[in-house]
Structure 1
């Protein structure tokens, strides 16, 4: 189990589940790419930061996706406020 996390495969599994969720929302609910990006984009970016941390990447590989998740999250909040 330790190798599963240390290799980053735990984060890969979570990213796979997020991808399945995105496909399901797109096909069954007709969500737009923008809606999917707003809802699942921040989660995917945070998980990418987690993967970088688990695999011992440099600090900026961890910080970059975490920082990039904020604009997508704000975009989602703004869209929900309008809708």
Structure 2
């Protein structure tokens, strides 16, 4: 179980589950016209995915510059979403 976490596979699993959730939410919206539109789904999931990628880099002993990169990506997407919601 330790290897599952230290190898970053736990993050890979969570990212796959998030992708499935996003696909289902977008498909549901396209089929029914209900639920969140595609941009809203992406705005919800992408910051979390970027945080998970930063975690994966940290768990696997990656360079700090990549951790910082994914944290900045997450913040930027989050701030764009926040700006759009406050309009």
Query: Same fold by TM (over 0.5)?
Result: yes
* Aligned partners of 1:49 and 1:66 also within 8 Å: yes
Greater relative contact order: 1 or 2 (C-alpha under 8 angstroms, separation 6 or more)? 1
Give matches, 1:1-80, under 5 Å: 1-30=1-30, 31-32=37-38, 34-80=39-85
Structure whose alpha-carbon radius of gyration is higher = 2
TM superposition shift of 1:76: 1.2
The alignment of Structure 1 onto Structure 2 pairs a total of residues equal to 81
Return 5+ residue gaps in structure 1 as ranges.
none
Alignment gaps of 5+ in structure 2: 31-36
TM-score, normalised relative to structure 1? 0.89
Q: CA deviation at 1:12?
A: 0.3
1:14-42 superposed Cα distances (whole Å, 9 cap, x missing partner): 1011101110110112422x323311110
